[in-house]
A and B are shown apart, each in its own frame.
Chain A
Amino acid sequence: MTETQVQKKEKKDVDKVERTRSGRCFIPPTDIIDKEDRITVLADMPGVEQTSIDITLENNVLTIQGCVKEENPENYSLVHSEYQVGDYYRSFTLSDTIDQDKIKAKYENGILRLELPKAEKAKSRKIEIQS
């Protein structure tokens, strides 16, 4: 049996967005699954407050963002640091028309899961040629 090892991806900084909050901002690694009737988006956003997650869909551009509340008690000193904590921001351009009313979002165990059902007109259909 072959075991796959989890590969850590370096967090990437977002640099094209003007933000109103100070601190670092990262692009969350994301899986996108395109199915016949819907698109599923899975974004790794560990440590984000559920209430701070903001999802918008405007002109086929899907934007997700989330804030991380960094706890830094003063009497603690950082001995060793391999990852950095910061907010998450990412936007996608969708090619299909999405039924905006039926979008579902769930945040569980640090993963944001978005179900974007395709609108009726975006689904493939056969076009009859009129004679």
Chain B
Amino acid sequence: MKIKDIVPTKIRSSLKRREEENPFLTLRQEMNRLFDNFFDDFSIRPFKTPWERTYPQVNIKENDKQIEISAELPGMDQKDVDISLYNNILTIQGEKRQEQEDKEGDYYHMECSYGSFHRDIPLPSEVDASKVKADFKKGVLKIFLPKKEEAERQAKKIEIS
């Protein structure tokens, strides 16, 4: 392992963080897991990773042409979720509603959570906002963001006069 990999020379944005790229993060996650297992019964959870409290949790994949963002949003449909793109930041917001009839029932076990959420995701590269597509099936939201053409990106270069 190179020393460069161990000593972080610059702060990476959370988006670019990858487990294998950051040995400290991996170590911390490992520690978290140990603590989580240990503190499970006490509901004390130290050293949370920044996104453990965020909802929805997302996976981001990309290839040369497009970025694919997926999130698990069970119990919601298209009406409950609002997606917008502004300044290369993708916003996902919405609300998971609890069924009214269930509230009157006799709950004795509850693990699913309900309420509103809002999440901003900075995109790793410029996208073509007019061609963004999204689909929502089986509680999994998938957003496809085509990257801008190479030519367009280069056109943004500014010459110093």
Pick the residue among A31, A50, A109 that contacts B112 (CB under 8 A).
Answer: A31
Given contacts A5-B117, A6-B96, A82-B57, contact A110 B107 (CB under 8 A): no
* B111 neighbours in A (Cβ, 8 Å): 9, 29-31
* A46 neighbours in B (Cβ, 8 Å): 72-74, 138-140
Contact between B72 and A79, CB atoms less than 8 A apart: no
Residue of A nearest to B106 (CB): A34
B105 at the A interface (CB under 8 A): yes
B90 at the A interface (CB under 8 A): no
B126 at the A interface (CB under 8 A): no
Contact between A35 and B72, CB atoms less than 8 A apart: no
Give the size range of A's interface with the partner: 35 or more
CB distance from B145 to the nearest CB of A (A): 12
* A30 neighbours in B (Cβ, 8 Å): 109, 111-112
Residue of B nearest to A78 (CB): B61
B85 at the A interface (CB under 8 A): no
Contact between B116 and A6, CB atoms less than 8 A apart: yes
Contact between B105 and A33, CB atoms less than 8 A apart: yes
A42 at the B interface (CB under 8 A): yes
Pick the residue among B60, B124, B138 that contacts A110 (CB under 8 A).
Answer: B138
Q: Which residues 9-65 of A have a CB within 8 angstroms of B?
A: 9-10, 29-35, 40, 42, 44-50
* A40 neighbours in B (Cβ, 8 Å): 102, 105
Given contacts A33-B107, A35-B105, A46-B72, contact A79 B15 (CB under 8 A): yes
* Alpha-carbon gap, A46 to B58, bound state (A): 13
Residue of B nearest to A5 (CB): B115
CB distance from B53 to the nearest CB of A (A): 7
* Alpha-carbon gap, A87 to B2, bound state (A): 37
A7 at the B interface (CB under 8 A): yes
A/B interface sample: 16 pairs, CB < 8 A? A3-B116, A8-B55, A29-B113, A32-B107, A33-B107, A42-B102, A44-B75, A45-B74, A46-B138, A47-B140, A76-B68, A79-B60, A79-B62, A80-B18, A81-B19, A83-B72
Binding site for B on A (CB under 8 A): 3-10, 29-35, 40, 42, 44-50, 73, 75-83, 85, 107, 109-111
